[in-house]
Amino acid sequence: MAPTMHFNYRYFETDGGVWWFGGGTDITPSYLFEDDMKHFHGAYKNTCDKHDPEFYPKFKKWADNYFLIKHRGETRGLGGIFFDDLNDRDPELIFNFAKDCVDTVVPAYVPIVAKRCDSEFTQEQKQWQQLRRGRYVEFNLVYDRGTVFGLKTGGRIESILMSLPETARWEYCHEPKPDSPEAEILDCFKNPREWV
């Protein structure tokens, strides 16, 4: 029942002196535990607010839009923060923000894993998790800018694909049962919520 999570923060600079920062952290649960999402998003809101009170709402919305699987009309997970091409202030200020975001990964995520890692689960719940992992694969191979860039420019294929789950599943036209925990979280994937 523990969710997966992904993060990366990066700095780019061209030979011509053009520079920018990008990155983000997002969480991908298979089942909804609202307290976990409030904790995760709250940690990133606190970090963002230390640097600019406009960062969290802007970067949370950016994550909701960026991680959308357009052909499904649902997000890959329950968001977090995401930004790219950030160069609107002193680079040292943005670098400090990115460092603080990295430093937030452990306190935002590890308590959730500690709470959920030994949870019992049924075979049906495992199958749902595998379907959600399939959505993660779909997003990464079709929409993720870094993955697509790496595949189109001759990057190291194994390194690029290492972020994919080891196992995943697809079922033809799968729909969860109404009023089930699976239907509840699917609604969150289709209609992003404000957690804090």
Active site residues: 6
Paired tokens of 17: 């002196």
Burial class (CB in 10 A: 0-12, 13-18, 19+), 51: middle
> Is 100:50 a contact under the CB 8 Å cutoff?
yes
Q: Which helix (H) or strand (E) holds 124?
A: helix 123-142
Residue type for 42, please? Answer: G
Could you give the C-alpha distances from 149 to 118, 130, 144, in angstroms and in order?
37, 26, 8
Paired tokens of 137: 């694969």
